[in-house]
Structure 1
């Protein structure tokens, strides 16, 4: 799981030192109730309340193990490697609608068990190729609450992201590669997409069609252990689109070693086929999709 799987360092955001993203509130996805404020400071920072309403905590026996994103009331997308050591779904739940890593006492957060796991059939646990999975929840999330929304998927006609664009990752992962304690609060960090020809990226990825690198060449910003499966997003067409799924990297935030992310745009057909396949309860799907269920 990420030869240490992903991190944020938290600093105080000063007034006037950040960028405000105001999304299209009429959009069906990719727009939370609150605007998003992202500082220009080094490292990461605490996420604003209801800024990332699709971010979920994936849990085993009530403890956070990975992140994920809401695609619909019944489906979550995350990393396949989060389930490498899980043999059944009995003790697996997701926490939605919470800024804290623990469920809220006022009833604003929602917890669901997982009814079905769909790992990509070509997932390779040694190379982290095709590192994505869909989860069907035991019962749909109540999307009427302002703190629970879905993220938008990118188009499958363009390989996203292009190089050198700003993106934001969020998660409850550790704040140090040497720490085993996850963050108690959701954190966000701004990183840039990095060309696959860059030496630090070329040494890490196995297939640039399926994966891409993001981070800061000089280090200091990254995802880390516990952030796996969480979203890496870009602001496009006035909504937040899911460009990457946090996958792996070499330690956390080291200069010259960006993080590696699953390229979501490559898998749009697979994602939509799984969701359609499940929702209409058919018994077969296209052979090119061939989902693996657990």
Structure 2
């Protein structure tokens, strides 16, 4: 986990936390071929309806001992392409990542899950880790996704919805920042898009409205470590439309400050040209 100082206030400082995960001990009853650690959760969320968001994937990587674990979320945007955050994949080669589609409960194998290894990582050329800006990347898998009721593409937003748009974010992030409580079931939370001004003020002037979008939730709710790369969506005519990629929060998580996402519409052309 990395904590980055992003701004100094008059009477103190605040930290922006990219939402990286770290290995945790695997539960013994997870089958060896899955061998993926359960990690983290959205704070204040609830168990998602099984496979209600079939575009959601678990991005997994290996620990120093060669054990696979969940590190970030992502969304299926093409037959062989996943959209995620750049900071999720900027530290290891493609050979050390894999994607699991139709994942729901890390502690229960339903038989619909598919593990696919990664062929290529395409990180946005302007990704700036110090500023946590342009935090998007594409994952090309070895093979293609097989679509069914549990696996589907998400629609990408070519424009950002207006303020107060009711939205949904899903992931396996911490449920409690201090105790680092971790679930095994995919979590979901309903939130709202907040105005660019509120986001700018709430992140101590670090927010960049051209490339980022934010949501505002009450204290005790929001994204946290392990949710990175996951999709922020709204629903229109029974279609989920992704307009954000989970990027960072002001620490501690769920403190009442805005949660920040890469703005999909800002990278719409780049995504489509590279997917």
Q: 2:127 pairs with 112, 123, 126, which one? A: 123
Distance 1:249 1:204, change over 3 A: farther
Tell me the residue number matched to 2:91.
85
* 1:188 Cα deviation from its structure 2 partner: 0.1
SS in 1 for 2:197: coil
Equivalent pairs counted in the alignment come to: 234
Q: 1:148 pairs with 146, 151, 154, which one? A: 151
* 1:84 Cα deviation from its structure 2 partner: 3.3
Q: Distance in 1 between matches of 2:241 and 2:57?
A: 16
Deviation sequence 1:172-229 (CA, Å, 0-9, x none):
111111244542010000111111212643525342010021121x322201000000
Tell me the residue number matched to 1:20.
none
Distance 1:191 1:215, change over 3 A: same
**1:98-177 → structure 2 map (5 Å cutoff):** 98-101=103-106, 105-143=109-147, 145-155=148-158, 158=159, 160-177=160-177
Distance 1:3 1:212, change over 3 A: same
Distance 1:197 1:90, change over 3 A: same
Structure 1 residue runs without a partner (length 5+): 10-42, 276-294
Distance 1:112 1:237, change over 3 A: same
Q: Is the 8 A contact 2:90 2:123 kept in 1?
A: no
Deviation sequence 1:235-270 (CA, Å, 0-9, x none):
123310001000001121112x11111000111111
**TM-score, scaled relative to structure 2:** 0.80
Q: Is the 8 A contact 1:7 1:222 kept in 2?
A: no
Q: Distance in 1 between matches of 2:194 and 2:264?
A: 16
Q: 1:8 pairs with 22, 25, 42, which one? A: 42
Q: Is the 8 A contact 2:174 2:180 kept in 1?
A: yes
Q: Distance in 2 between matches of 1:244 and 1:56?
A: 15
Higher percent of residues as strand: 2
SS in 2 for 1:254: coil
Q: Is the 8 A contact 2:50 2:104 kept in 1?
A: yes
Greater Cα offset, 179-188 or 233-242? 179-188
* 1:44 Cα deviation from its structure 2 partner: 1.1
Q: Distance in 2 between matches of 1:107 and 1:91?
A: 24
Structure 2 residue runs without a partner (length 5+): 3-15, 20-39, 63-67
**TM-score, scaled relative to structure 1:** 0.75
